[in-house]
Chains A and B, each alone.
Chain A
Amino acid sequence: MKAERSNEPFIWSLFSAGGMVAAMLIPVLLLLFGVAIPLGWVEAPEYQRLLALFRNPIIRLGLFVICSLPLFHWAHRFRFTLYDGLQIKHLNELIFTFCYGGAIAGTLIAAYLLLTL
């Protein structure tokens, strides 16, 4: 029997990198845009200024990383949540496609939005 090359190490490295990006940056973004600005704790940034900030090449690249890698982190973790938590291993392929397909779709949308910003 020939040993099949597994793509798990590659997927795991995306999971790991995404987990680190998510741990460092996701809470502050959610705190600002989801809680602090809506509740009026801080003033919302002006449209022109935020647009200018997000058009900065370094920030733009950073935003792309923030909007893609954490999705692969989600895909990996959520896949195993569904496998183990709900014990629906028989749906493996469907779950795999849904999770990584979602992450790839999100990455493409992020790239499109940032390139046309």
Chain B
Amino acid sequence: MGVYTEYHPKWYRRHVSTWWWMGKWNYLKFIVRELTSLAVAWTVLLMLMLLNSLREGEGSYRDFLEVMRSPGLIALNLLALLLTLFHSITWFNLAPKALAVRVGGRRVPALMIALPHFLAWIVVSAVMAWLILRR
């Protein structure tokens, strides 16, 4: 039989505050990165609203554009945009850690993996903007 440490519910444990992540920049960065997911979900919600308005007809689409012009929403969207940019940048910077590519027994340098992601991001964004905005 193995030797187990018995469960002692009354042992002293340090209490960790709910605000533990406020102390250090690294912890704060971690929480901000986690919160970027809210901005991502919010953008999907906006897209669903756009799709719904397109479905309903031109008047509904005009209403959607009008609602999006309200200053409060623009401010919220600017904040959300910063968060989604933070997500993209941290995501592409992590890619070399997830993809350990080896060529000829040597590990490909991190920059060589991150850089194509950033380039693809720029191209994909430009194509998307062109598709939507071209007249």
Contact = CB atoms under 8 A, between A and B. Distances in A.
A and B associate in one complex? yes
Interface of A: 16, 19-20, 22-35, 37-39, 42-51, 53-54, 59, 63, 66-67, 70-71, 73-74, 76-78, 80-81, 84-87, 102, 106, 109-110, 113-114, 116-117
Give the 4 A-B CB pairs with smallest separation, nearest first. A34-B77, A77-B37, A74-B41, A28-B125
A113 B55 CA distance: 7
25 contacts: A22-B91, A23-B121, A25-B128, A26-B39, A27-B85, A28-B129, A30-B39, A30-B84, A34-B68, A34-B78, A35-B81, A51-B54, A63-B51, A67-B51, A70-B41, A71-B41, A73-B40, A74-B41, A77-B34, A78-B41, A81-B34, A81-B35, A84-B34, A106-B41, A106-B44
Contact of B46 (A19, A30, A73, A113): A30
Interface in B71-97: 73-74, 77-78, 80-81, 84-85, 87-88, 91-92
Most buried by B among A34, A70, A102: A34
Given A23-B121, A39-B74, A106-B48, 15 more contacts: A19-B87, A33-B47, A33-B68, A35-B74, A37-B65, A38-B65, A38-B69, A43-B135, A47-B54, A47-B58, A54-B54, A74-B44, A77-B34, A77-B36, A81-B37
B54 A85 contact: no
Contacts, number: 161
Main secondary structure of the interface of B (DSSP, over half): helix
Interface of B: 16, 18, 21, 31, 34-41, 43-48, 50-52, 54-55, 58, 61-62, 65, 68-69, 73-74, 77-78, 80-81, 84-85, 87-88, 91-92, 98, 120-121, 124-125, 128-129, 131-133, 135
Contact of B129 (A32, A54, A66, A87): A32
Contacts of A47: 54, 58, 61-62
